[in-house]
Amino acid sequence: IILNTCFLLLEHYDQPDYWRDMLVVVNYIFVGIFTLEAVLKIFVLGPRQYWQDHWNRFDFLVVAVSLFVLPFDGPGTSGFRMLRILRMFRLIKRYRGLKVVFTTLFLALPSLVNIFVLVLLVMFIFGVAGVRWFGKIPVDTTPGLTHNANFSNLYYALILLYTISTTDTWGDVMEGCAYGAEGTWIAIPYFIIYMLLVNCFLR
């Protein structure tokens, strides 16, 4: 699996024909090995016992995707070839530490979805309020605001709020909305409260 991952890393832009042909042959070899492994495990364990193991299901999915991608292994099919990356996830079941991390992340997904929805709700509320309070602030003369990230409408306001949630230039945006043309003092508590809330959830 590690060797297959290393060969996946060898593909690069504008590679010569002989290099691409070599990688295609190596890919066929690895697909054959993985397919043979899956067939032998099904034969030894039996279809029912094999299918009861979730990791065996994942291995079977990887093999099925690899076989599906083979006919598309040519120029202009990089989108399909990217599905080979799934093979790297086979390493997870081989190492206990990775398996524990992956299982923990999988079990935490429902909670992460709830946090994501909550962050979106906070951004929506502050976006609506931002359009109401800062919608008339000129874009060209205000630091931090651009034609694609401003408070002229809700769409652009959400883009701006997403950008500053990474703490990128949020101080400039706050200063421009507070002290620039058409600015208002309410920008200071607005941005401070927003940054505290969002970073409390994201960090």
pLDDT tens-digit map of 68-91: 777 766 555 555 555 566 666 767
pLDDT number for residue 194: 92
Confidence band of 125 (pLDDT split at 50, 70, 90): very high
**How much is the average pLDDT of 7-32?**
80
pLDDT number for residue 40: 92
pLDDT number for residue 124: 94
Asked whether 86 and 61 are in contact (CB, 8 A), the reply is yes
pLDDT tens-digit map of 38-54: 899 899 888 888 888 87
pLDDT number for residue 84: 61
pLDDT number for residue 129: 93
Q: Which residue has the tokens 């999915």?
A: 61
Q: How many CA atoms lie within 13 A of 51 on its CB side?
A: 3
Is the pTM higher than 0.85? The answer reads: no
Q: Is the pLDDT of residue 26 over 70?
A: yes
Determine the Cα–Cα distance for residues 45 and 65; give it in Å rounded to an integer: 22
Nearest C-alpha neighbor of 173 from the set 186, 191, 157: 191
Q: Provide the mean pLDDT of the chain.
A: 81
Q: Is the pLDDT of residue 33 over 90?
A: no
pLDDT tens-digit map of 106-119: 788 888 888 888 88
151: Cα separation from own chain's centroid? 27
The residue count of the chain comes to 203
Angle formed by the axes of helices 170-179 and 187-202, nearest 10°: 160
pLDDT tens-digit map of 157-195: 999 898 888 887 888 888 888 887 777 889 899 999 999
Instruction: Indicate the burial class of 38 (C-beta count within 10 angstroms; 0-12, 13-18, 19 or more).
Output: middle
